[in-house]
Amino acid sequence: MKWIVGLGNPGPNYEKTRHNIGFMALDALAARHGIAIKQSKCKAVIGEGNISGTKIALIKPMTYMNLSGESVRAFMDYYKVSLEDLIVVYDDLDTEIGRNRLRYQGSAGGHNGIKSIIQHTGTQVFNRIRMGISRPQPGYPIVDYVLAPFPRKEAELLQQSIDEAGDAIEFALTHTFEQTMAKFNK
């Protein structure tokens, strides 16, 4: 089973915020393939299905961003899945809006959700799709920025990023992550 974890915060207050772009990407992929993400298990809501003949689980941790690793660990332990089959999708301040960056290892880079996953899995080696949200203007508090909704003027770039993340996930299901990085890192 391949498992895709989208990072975000639960609840309607956070639904359209920059920090929830990982949830948005999973929701779009689920809609594309008719998968319902609604089963409550492993401190998450989960949707299971098949894409390109591959069994997948789409996972949205309900632990809030800073504790995402608790849900990832619970899913790993319950389903006995490998980190090699994991893709984490999340927001990245250091990538501009509309662009995604793929990597298979690295530090948390200041992202508390990734920091929690590293802490609970004991490794920095797992596949990632970092979805750009750009940095705020100097002086604008980071916390306020990531918890703010995307402005209308960024709607087209946001949709492009979400669509490309879905395309990358679909490609990764039938190719190595190295091949996926070569195709989707621009």
Helix/strand/coil (H/E/C) assignment for every residue in 126-173: EEEEEEECCCCCCCCCHHHHHCCECCHHHHHHHHHHHHHHHHHHHHHC
Catalytic residue among 19, 111, 120, 175: 19
91: alpha, beta or left? (left if phi > 0; alpha if psi -120 to 50): beta
Residue 104 assigned to a binding site: no
Of 118, 53, 127, the C-alpha closest to 86 is 127
Residue 14 assigned to a binding site: yes
Q: Is 19 a catalytic residue?
A: yes
Of 108, 91, 107, 120, the C-alpha closest to 19 is 91
Is residue 67 within 8 Å of 108, Cβ to Cβ?
A: no
Residue reference for tokens 């996953």: 117
Indicate which residues carry an active-site annotation.
Answer: 19
Specify binding-site residues. 14, 64, 66, 112
**Annotated binding residues for tRNA:** 14, 64, 66, 112
